Amino acid sequence: MAETLLRQDDQVICAGLEAEYGVNPGLTGADAMLVSNLDVKMIEASTADRNGLKGFMGSSGAITVDRKIVSSFDVEFAGSGNGATAPKWGRQLMGCGFAELVGATDTTYTMVGQDFSSLAMLYRIGKVQQELLGSRGGVSIVLDQGTIPLFKFGYESLFQSPEVVAEYLSGIDFSAFKTPVGVTDVATEVTLFGAPIKMKKLTIDPGIQYGKDSHTEGESVEIEARKGTVSTSFRTSDQELVDYIEHGSNNAEGPLNAVHGVAAGNILTVNVPNLQIKTASVAWDGEFANVDVTADIRPLTANTDLTITQS
């Protein structure tokens, strides 16, 4: 029998919300996620050395005392085509400490501080299959001018041994993923402190801290804390440069709003009600000056770090 070679293009990852923590809700090919830059560490183990004295040199070996699966991937920042139809990546956000609210004309994602949802994922390389259960993680949004905007997700999951199954995954359906729109002057508008900026780079990171918690009664992946940040770089005028250097000096606070998309149902808005500038500096982009700004997301009330709205 000929050996089956595993190819990068054979990879598929499916995802769905768990009704019961750590239990596969019955994922199928219909739950496939359209992702890029997929990286799944099928086992990340912690070991303890035995350090036995044997009367001669050499390792005494080790035992594995903890296991987990670590994964990351990108998803295109594009709507479902209908404001009131939840995008398929919504389930991924809910595994990162967000709640989903589907309205009459839009879908909104807000942050929560307890009762976090969890994800089950199914990883396939051809006929090799591994379940990634009890998954929770973090996300950042990258909106750089001249690129396809992206969600960047990362998760930890409870370890399950992989297996070789009889059939390739069938029924794979990516129809819910709509063609994205590039970050351009036509499709994207960013305001900082209420005024539009000539944005070149923008990363919004809720700063979700997460990790696997193991003890003698069991194990789980938990969202631990949130410390969000924003970094952006934009073309500057003389007065704007002076203003933002002063903002950096005084740790000024204010909102950021980013709207991306051109067609109804595919317009996504990220709103950060309050951020505090940490640093501001001039940076040269070829012959032209930019202002590089880093800021902390500083919510003034619980769970108001940011919202993501599809309309």
Band of pLDDT at residue 2, cut at 50, 70 and 90: low
Q: What is the pTM of this model?
A: 0.96
Distance CA 117, CA 80 (A): 21
Dump pLDDT digits (tens) for 209-235: 999 999 999 999 999 999 999 999 999
Per DSSP, what are the bridge partners of residue 97?
Answer: none
The per-residue pLDDT for 4 is: 80
The per-residue pLDDT for 262 is: 95
The per-residue pLDDT for 3 is: 74
Q: What is the 3-state secondary structure (H, E, C) of 105-169?
A: CCEEEEECCCCCCCEEEEEEECCEEEEEEEEEEEEEEECCCCCCCEEEEEEEEECCCCEECCCCC
Average pLDDT (69-91) is: 98
pLDDT above 60 (res 1): no
- Any residues with CB less than 8 A from the CB of 201 and at least 6 apart, and which? 144, 145, 231, 232, 233
End-to-end, the C-alpha distance of the chain in Å comes to: 53
Distance CA 164, CA 171 (A): 19
Band of pLDDT at residue 157, cut at 50, 70 and 90: very high
Average pLDDT (243-252) is: 95
Per DSSP, what are the bridge partners of residue 208?
Answer: 226
Q: Which two tokens stand for residue 101?
A: 């609210």
Q: What does residue 297 show for φ and ψ, rounded to 5 degrees?
A: -75, 120
The per-residue pLDDT for 154 is: 98
The per-residue pLDDT for 269 is: 98
Give percent of the chain with pLDDT exceeding 70.
99
pLDDT above 90 (res 259): yes
